[in-house]
């Protein structure tokens, strides 16, 4: 009831207002909304706290929140681009999952597990009750600007798929975080090896 009375109508009206703006501004504002939307998902805070606890503090809650925020921001920005230019969601989904599968071989297993959990958690009630209606509102305004009647606007092609993107981009974002951690560890090991001396270096020289 609360969603139907408040979140969905507000999201739709925000989208209708955004649709009146220039294309670059629509995409920018959609990205910014994505950055902050994820912070309103209660399950995300539970997940990040569990990540920090399981990793004994090695994976910081703030780092994961920032990574997820950027991932969801990118998802909603990409959804806005697709809405404005009207092309198939498959141009995102197929390369996205190929990238995700490739990254599975490069990042630690714990990050891969957390990544797919994050994807499911990020696409929660805020996404479905606010972000999706917002994208539909943008589509409605853009269609009206083209002189199309409501029945002629292709909401399925232009609007839907945003939740799928929100489920995908955090997976890639967390996996990239895992790869960056691997690179940092490799650099640290390389520096440590440079300080390891040979047996002759440990000999005592008697004068």
Q: What is the pTM of this model?
A: 0.82
Please provide the size of the chain in residues.
207
Can you give the pLDDT at residue 42? 79
For residue range 26-78, list pLDDT tens digits in order.
999 999 998 888 888 878 888 888 888 877 777 788 888 888 899 999 999 99
For residue range 156-172, list pLDDT tens digits in order.
777 788 888 988 998 99
DSSP 69-104: HHHHHHHHHHHHHHHHHT--THHHHHHHHHHHHHHH
DSSP code, position 21: S
Strands (E), the chain: none
Mean pLDDT of 109-131: 84
Mean pLDDT of 15-19: 91
């Amino acid at each position: 009831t609360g969603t139907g009375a408040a979140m969905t109508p507000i999201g739709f009206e925000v989208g209708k207002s955004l649709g009146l703006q220039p294309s670059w501004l629509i995409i920018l504002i959609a990205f910014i909304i994505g950055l902050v939307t994820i912070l309103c998902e209660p399950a995300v805070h539970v997940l990040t706290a569990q990540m920090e606890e399981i990793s004994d503090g090695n994976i910081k809650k703030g780092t994961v929140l920032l990574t997820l925020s950027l991932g969801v921001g990118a998802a909603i920005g990409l959804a806005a681009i697709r809405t404005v230019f009207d092309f198939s969601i498959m141009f995102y989904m197929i390369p996205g999952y190929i990238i995700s599968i490739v990254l599975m071989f490069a990042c630690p297993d714990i990050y891969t597990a957390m990544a797919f959990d994050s994807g499911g958690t990020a696409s929660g009630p805020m996404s479905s009750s606010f972000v999706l209606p917002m994208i539909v509102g943008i589509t409605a305004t853009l269609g009206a600007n083209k002189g199309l009647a409501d029945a002629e606007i292709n909401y399925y092609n232009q609007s839907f798929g945003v939740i799928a993107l929100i489920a995908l981009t955090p997976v890639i974002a967390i996996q990239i975080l895992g790869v960056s951690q691997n690179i940092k560890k490799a650099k640290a090991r390389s520096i440590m090896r440079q300080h390891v001396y040979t047996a002759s270096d440990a000999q005592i020289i008697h004068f």
